[in-house]
Amino acid sequence: MAISTIQSSFLLITILFLLSPFTTHSNSSDDLLSELIHLRSKSPLGLIHLKDPLLQRILSIPSPKPFSSLIFFDARQLHSKPDNSIPSIKYEFSLLSSSFLTNNPQNNTQIFFFIIEFQESKSSFELFDVQSLPHIRLIPIYVTDVKTDCIKMDASGYSMGADSMKEFVEMNSNVNLGPIHSPPVIPKKMMMIIGAGFLIWSPFLVKKFVIGNTLLQNKYIWMVASILVYFFSVSGTMYTIIRKAPLFLIDRNDPGKYHIFYQGSGMQLGAEGFAVGFLYTIFGLLLALMTHILVHLKNRGTQSLLMALGLFVSFWAVKRVIYLNNWKTGYGVHAYWPSGWM
């Protein structure tokens, strides 16, 4: 009877010993998950400030991990540089985090959003081999090697802001983030103030409109507005806004030197678009001048001189656009005469 009791006790101790790693792992995962939820609750945007010790605890959890992690690598000392897009991408990253919490008020532990600072966690930057910023990494639930299994977000992942980040996360994980909730361009209080002001001034505006003494009835205002619309259209302003392209780039070898033209068809700088748009606008204005104003001149000599000058400047503007296109894309434009014309 005593031997049987000893054997039963020994068997029970052996089972508990074998199950202890799983119990420890479960407790450590639950403790870490509770801590992350607490840290996230302190941020209105749902972002967790990540440092080396916390990152090591996350990586030490065996696969499959109970949650995925999306990490934004930041460096505050780079925010002041004019050609840096880190602040805008960081804003889109925070928008993605807050939208996830808004869409998932209850079940929101499938993924956590982190921001890690270079000055505070240099070893983590070395661990993920971060060579340049912006840099975003997704740590999936299955990770055996940090450098190979953690997925790096390329430029296309944040080119369209929070929407493209959302597509990247949902494509590389089983997490459904939901729609992005962007803040309104004009705050609600400001809209109410504008609406009240419009209602107050509406009788005076109607009176001026009936009399014909408004800017909307001034033909010169419409002429200037049409020229501005044409200029911003041909200069690729919408591309610059959507892609958040910088106005110019600073030479890495010479910080005092600026580049306003980027060689390559994959990107266009803001100043580059404005320069080409200016050439297009010159050509359009000269064309309008020659076809609507110069044809009514009575002095043939003056008319011919101005026509020749307008054609020369127009030819120069078109030639510069073709030259820039050839330099940027590598494709040349050559004169071609059909054989039937010879």
Q: What is the mean pLDDT of the chain?
A: 81
Tell me how far apart the alpha carbons of residues 45 and 87 are, in angstroms, rounded to a whole number.
15
Q: C-alpha dihedral over 227, 233, 237, 238, to 10 degrees? A: 140
Exposed/middle/buried for 92, CB within 10 Å: 0-12, 13-18, 19+? Answer: buried
| Residue with tokens 């209602």, as numbered in its chain | 199
Q: Hey, which of 5-9, 157-161, 182-186, 278-282 has the most confident mean pLDDT? A: 278-282
| Residue with tokens 């494509």, as numbered in its chain | 171
**Predicted TM-score of the model (pTM):** 0.56
Q: What pLDDT score was predicted for residue 136?
A: 92
Helical pair 219-234 and 270-292, crossing angle rounded to 10 deg: 130
Residue 150 near residue 143 (C-beta atoms within 8 A)? yes
Residue range 260-318, pLDDT digits in tens: 777 776 677 888 888 889 999 999 999 888 888 888 888 888 888 999 998 999 999 88
Q: What pLDDT score was predicted for residue 55?
A: 92
Lowest mean pLDDT among 1-15, 128-142, 244-258: 1-15
Q: What pLDDT score was predicted for residue 197?
A: 85
Kindly tell me if the per-residue pLDDT of 26 is higher than 60. Answer: no
More confident residue, 68 or 239: 68
Q: For strand 151-152 and strand 135-139, is the pairing parallel, antiparallel, or unpaired?
A: antiparallel
Tell me how far apart the alpha carbons of residues 163 and 179 are, in angstroms, rounded to a whole number.
8
Tell me how far apart the alpha carbons of residues 40 and 48 are, in angstroms, rounded to a whole number.
5
Q: Which residues contact 152 (CB under 8 A, 6 or more apart)?
A: 135, 136, 137
Tell me how far apart the alpha carbons of residues 267 and 248 are, in angstroms, rounded to a whole number.
12
Residue range 70-82, pLDDT digits in tens: 999 998 888 877 6
Residue 111: enclosing H or E segment and its boundaries? strand 111-117
More confident residue, 147 or 50: 50
**3-class state of residue 257 by DSSP:** coil
Tokens (6 digits) for 321: 């656009």
Tokens (6 digits) for 200: 């107050």
DSSP 8-state symbol, 183: P
Tell me how far apart the alpha carbons of residues 324 and 310 are, in angstroms, rounded to a whole number.
21
Q: What pLDDT score was predicted for residue 161?
A: 83
Closest CA to 178 of 243, 113, 105: 105
**207 pLDDT tier (thresholds 50, 70, 90):** confident
Kindly tell me if the per-residue pLDDT of 6 is higher than 60. Answer: no
Task: From residue 309, give the alpha-carbon distance in Å to each of 155, 257, 298.
Answer: 46, 35, 17
Q: For strand 111-117 and strand 47-50, is the pairing parallel, antiparallel, or unpaired?
A: parallel
Closest CA to 277 of 227, 219, 202: 227
